Amino acid sequence: MNLLLKKISLPLTDFPLVIDVEIQNQVTAVFGPSGAGKTSLLDLIAGLRQPKSALVQLGDRVLTDTAAGTNVPTRHRQIGYVPQDLALFPHLSVRENLLYGRKGIRTLDTLFSYEHITQVLEIGPLVNRRTTNLSGGEKQRVALARALLASPHLLLLDEPLASLDTVLKSKIIPYLARIRGEFHIPMLYVTHDWSEVQALCSEALIMERGQIVRRELIAG
Amino acid sequence: MTGAEWQLLWFTAWVSAISTILILPFGLATAWLLARHDWPGKSLVETLVSLPLVMPPVATGLILLKVLGERGAVGGFFYRHFNVDIAFTWRGVLIALAVMSFPLLVRSTRVAFEQVNPRLEQIARTLGASNSRVFWTITLPLASHGVIGGMLLAFARALGEFGATIMVAGYITGKTATLSTEIYHSFNNGEDAHAYRLLGLSVALAFLAVWSSEWFMRRRTSAR
């Protein structure tokens, strides 16, 4: 992956988000304390927030270029997003949630097939249940599967394990590792837990008050 | 209950239901725009939508009469081009009820839309959904209890409307008379028994509509 985030400027409540970075690793952590602007950065990449200025380019595809007036709508960006609260649709079944992003996708790629993804994340037995009846770990896997089923070119994970206890975390991390190993989708992984960074990521961008203050390569 | 009273009840309920259905698409669109977007003139539209709630209903009725009468801008157009009268017909009743109940529908529906977590709509967009698909598959289903509650409230308001109706449509037995105008007319003419029967009916209907509306609103709250 080559994700270019240049001349990013987005006013936040207490400070502006100012980013200028090029990311090339498969799984990159965005690490920092709460309120550092990590979620705002993901929102901006997904096209959910409009920056004052920005150049966002994924591979050779320009998603946002304020100077040129380019702004690809969120729905055309092909960026999977698993927010912190997971945002599973409560009125739909697990299956309906999973298939929500499949509309209009005609892919013969078995890697991203419904069968393969539900098998990798072991959610086959859950598909007929309501999302409101799932445990925390099950919800997490359904949200990951839903994002993957839309065949994204980039996966944004916003503190996916923050709401889970240590036992559940240790159960979900292998699934995330499987996603990394099987699907080869570049991921931006927001967290403030360094053990997650070490378990899953190859590089960490350390954020404080809206800026990347340091980059660290993680020894694999 | 006499046959004429049943007929009056049927007419009032029918015209109230049609007026509620008539304002539904406009109410949904207005409520959604107010709940989900900021745009120039928004506060002006908010004020205009709420005006019928606070203005004297007869004043609203007078404005409608001026617009919908044979010499009015809208009424005159329909009369000249289609030979259709609006004022002092069932159409006038329908429009008066629609205008008077519109604010209640918009207010309830707006609250329902505002209570839908915007993050769900955003994530639906990241999954490739267009704005209209997001509305029909996420926003509206999640707001449905509030929307139905708002429709019932608007229906209840329409059932009891008097001031605007009497101005736009008058009181014409078998043509424009509704429960409320009939109660007023009967009481003025000393037909107390008739007036009290209709009064009881009005109370029962209003109670049922408001109670159902509250029930749907409560379901909306408990569903979150």
| CATH number for B41 | 1.10.3720.10
* For residues A1-23, average pLDDT: 92
Confidence of residue A161 (pLDDT cuts 50, 70, 90): confident
All residues at 6 or more sequence positions from B195 whose CB lies less than 8 Å from its CB, including other chains: B183, B186, B187
Indicate whether A220 pLDDT > 70.
no
Is A109 a member of any domain?
no
What does the H/E/C string look like for B21-76? HHHHHHHHHHHHHHHHCCCCCHHHHHHHHHHHHHCCHHHHHHHHHHHHCCCCHHHH
- Is residue A154 within 8 Å of residue A80, measured between CB atoms? yes
The ipTM assigned to this model is 0.92
Residue B88 structure tokens: 């002092």
| Average pLDDT value over all residues in chain B | 92
Confidence of residue A1 (pLDDT cuts 50, 70, 90): low
Is A177 a member of any domain?
yes
Q: H helices then E strands: how many in chain A?
A: 6, 11
Residue B61: domain span: 3-222
Ranked by mean pLDDT, the top range of A39-48, A113-122, B214-223 is A39-48
The burial class, CB within 10 Å (0-12 / 13-18 / 19+), for B221 is: exposed
Out of A75, A83, A85, the one facing B128 most closely (by C-beta) is A75
* For residues B106-112, average pLDDT: 95
Is A119 a member of any domain?
no
Contact criterion met (CB < 8 Å) for B117 and A75: no
Q: What is the domain count for chain A? A: 1
What confidence score (pLDDT) does residue A4 get? 95
- A99: closest CA of chain B, how far (Å): 10
Residue A42 structure tokens: 């993901």
Strands A61-65, A53-58: pairing is antiparallel
More confident residue, B222 or A193: A193
* For residues A77-99, average pLDDT: 95
* For residues B187-214, average pLDDT: 90
Contact criterion met (CB < 8 Å) for B127 and A150: yes
Q: Is A139 on the interface with B (CB under 8 A)?
A: no
What confidence score (pLDDT) does residue B223 get? 46
Confidence of residue B34 (pLDDT cuts 50, 70, 90): very high
CATH value at residue A45:
3.40.50.300
Is A142 a member of any domain?
no
Q: How far apart are CA A41 and CA A190, in angstroms?
A: 10
Contact criterion met (CB < 8 Å) for A75 and B126: yes
Indicate whether B224 pLDDT > 60.
no
Confidence of residue A165 (pLDDT cuts 50, 70, 90): confident
Q: What is the domain count for chain B? A: 1
What confidence score (pLDDT) does residue B217 get? 76
Indicate whether B158 pLDDT > 80.
yes
Indicate whether A109 pLDDT > 70.
no
Indicate whether A108 pLDDT > 90.
no
Is A94 a member of any domain?
no
Between B57-68 and B90-114, two packed helices, what is the crossing angle to 10 degrees? 120
Q: Please give the distance of CA B3 from its chain centroid, rounded to a whole number.
A: 27
Residue A70 structure tokens: 């380019």
Q: How far apart are CA A67 and CA B64, in angstroms?
A: 51
Is A144 a member of any domain?
no
* For residues B112-133, average pLDDT: 96
- Cα→Cα distances A120→A115, A117, B46, B111, Å: 9, 5, 50, 41
Is A114 a member of any domain?
no
Ranked by mean pLDDT, the top range of A157-171, B144-158, B204-218 is B144-158
* Least confident segment among A104-108, A156-160, A164-168, B183-187: A104-108
* For residues B116-129, average pLDDT: 96
What confidence score (pLDDT) does residue A110 get? 66
Residue A25: domain span: 3-87+152-217
Contact criterion met (CB < 8 Å) for B126 and A48: yes
Out of B125, B128, B223, the one facing A103 most closely (by C-beta) is B128
Which of A189, A107, A195 minimizes the C-alpha distance to A154?
A189
Could you read off the pLDDT of B67-104 as tens digits, one per residue? 999 889 999 999 999 999 999 999 999 999 999 999 99
Residue A96 structure tokens: 């309906």
Is A126 a member of any domain?
no
Q: How far apart are CA A195 and CA A166, in angstroms?
A: 11
Indicate whether A28 pLDDT > 70.
yes
Contact criterion met (CB < 8 Å) for A150 and B124: no
